[in-house]
Amino acid sequence: MKKFLAVILALAMMMTSVLALAETSYTGTAKGFVDEIQVTVTLNDDGSIADVVVDKCSDTPGVCDAAVEKIPAAMKELNSINVDTVGGATFTSNGILAAVKNALESNGVDTTALMEKKEVVVDKAADETLECDVVVIGAGGAGLAAAITAEQNGANVIVVEKMAKVGGNTILAGGAVNAVEDRSEFAIKQNDSVYWHYWQTLNGGDWQGDPELVMTLVENAYEGIQWTKELGMEWLGEEAVFTVSGGLWPRAWKPAGMASAGFFETYGNYIDNTDKISLMLNTKAEEIMVDASGAACGIIATGETGNTITINAKSVVVATGGFSKNVELRMAYDSIWGMLDEKVLSTNHPGATGDGVKMLQKLNADFIQMGNIQLLPLGDPQTGSLSGNIEHGVDSRIFVNKSGLRYGDEGGRRDDMTRDLFAQEDNLMWIVMDSDTYPTGDEINNFGETANQLVAAGRAVKADSLEELAALMNVDAENLKATIAEYNEYCIGGSKEGQADQFGRTLFGAPIDTAPFYAGARVPTVHHTMGGVRIDTLCRVYNENGEIIENLYAAGEVTGGIHGANRLGGNALADTIVFGRIAGESAALCK
């Protein structure tokens, strides 16, 4: 018997060894959103997929996570390398798919069978009805700020999010938050104040913003920063406060981590440690329910499997974001640009399609300033994204056109800078700066990308001389050198031969004179829809008759009346924190 068992054990070990040898692994790479993605694909001896592992992915945390998790799992489940991309992480998804294919084909593996498209068969779950105190539609910055604040005020909360991940547009932003504390030595040193922030916000929006909403924003922004700190989020100190593009003043706080991902790491940690907030991803709100009196009383949503989910609640918070990704809506409402068709790219995530607008319209909610749509001159030429931008702050760079010449005030309003760019050849400009903020090239930009990564990925160029930089940019070298020499005179003396800058620029930092030099191409891109549903300082929603729709609140980009005709850079994330918190508190205290 012992001999028999020994033989069986030996045979089992041999079979295990044979099976191990039968599996073959292949490594491949492909371009991701930030840098190369590397994968390892393991096949069984019959050619089926044993495993897929993403070894390296430098794309933005929080954005790429769902793709890194779901695509390898789907490949193994379906035994196919032709699987669907993950919504909100398209570039990462395509990078993983391409890297897997490259891994196999570069090693001579015939992928014909593995490229067969297979549909995932999902059994439809049963319809269900849930109960809570507050239901929040949207898991972006405003939505999660509202959910956490509602929970902190004693409410049981359900958050529904149609995408496969949290974050919305907030997670794609650079993380800059305008906030002023009047009593701080830094604010005094910078000649800044809450009132100056208030005046610049109103003036920068052509005085179309509601003064009460604007004052609510600027008075509570600094407290919002402190609230995130209490939740565990880390920020760089006051010495790192800077002027974000279109912000008009150095009052933008910068997260210590990677861009806006820190918000969702912080919010996620809080949600993970409470049993009073439930987060439902891949769940699309379809309708806001109202009772016989017209008060909001919950929502009807479609679950991941197509089932109907009814959520009864005492109050509803709409935090669905704007509609910059909805070409039909932005063309219908646009009152500024007149050319916002599909050719104009957007910084926004795929879910920014105006779902909240459509649901609120069914309730006859009042909408204001819907034609106020903001464009930025800072989009990636291929994607429209803000990522890949080499700049750190307004005072450290210039914009030049395809002739190598400056053409406008790089520290001005966002709408003015965009109009200036539309007047240039091919609507394209180059951001030019030196190595002051990139002494080694491994320092990160506002989106967690290093200069070296951007250069390697072809999203920026780098040179040891201006002549070489001009050649890489394909611009006239003499023009570029003369442009930078003139700009440097303003940096050194504040003026050139006693004359102010011809374009009206007043923000000047260090001269552009230290090699290596960097440049990155940028184009106009749709960024923010300032118009939306009318709210008051308690985030209560109004109908077309000027009456409050009871138990209904809204926060974030779905609302209108705060930013006017042009939003200051750095005010959007402040908006999500300030009004998200107010909406959450109001909703929790609703009886």
Structure tokens at 43: 């096949």
Report the greatest alpha carbon distance in the chain.
Answer: 103
Distance of alpha carbon 285 from alpha carbon 495, whole angstroms: 56
List 251, 330, 397, 414, catalytic entry? 414
Q: What angle do CA 47, 52, 53 make, to 5 degrees?
A: 150
Name the helix (H) or strand (E) containing 417.
helix 414-422
Tally of CA atoms within 13 A in the half-sphere of 459 that contains its CB = 29
Eight-class DSSP state of 138: -
**Scanning the structure block, which residue is given the tokens 């090699």?**
515
Eight-class DSSP state of 86: P
Distance of alpha carbon 508 from alpha carbon 397, whole angstroms: 9
Distance of alpha carbon 306 from alpha carbon 322, whole angstroms: 25
Structure tokens at 179: 């906030």
Q: Are strands 559-560 and 532-534 parallel, antiparallel or unpaired?
A: parallel
User: Positive or negative CA dihedral for 498, 500, 506, 508?
Assistant: negative
Instruction: Work out the burial of residue 331: count CB atoms within 10 Å of its CB; fewer than 13 is exposed, 13-18 middle, 19 or more buried.
Output: middle
Q: Are 252 and 242 in contact (CB under 8 A)?
A: yes
CA 25 to chain centre: 35
Residue 329 CB contacts under 8 Å (≥ 6 apart), including other chains: 323, 353, 354, 357
Residue 311 CB contacts under 8 Å (≥ 6 apart), including other chains: 129, 130, 131, 132, 135, 158, 160, 298, 299, 300, 301
Q: Would you call 414 a catalytic residue per the annotation?
A: yes
Give the DSSP letter string of 240-266: G-B--TT--SS-EE-BSSSTTHHHHHH
Phi, psi of 30 (to 5 degrees): -160, 165
The amino acid at 162: K
Terminal alpha carbon distance of the chain = 76
- C-alpha distances (whole Å) from 335 to each of 207, 320, 380, 564, 565 are 16, 22, 24, 13, 10
Q: What angle do CA 337, 340, 345 make, to 5 degrees?
A: 120
Distance of alpha carbon 199 from alpha carbon 405, whole angstroms: 33
3-state helix, strand, coil in the chain (%, to 5): 35, 20, 45
Q: Are strands 128-137 and 157-160 parallel, antiparallel or unpaired?
A: parallel
Annotated catalytic residues are: 414
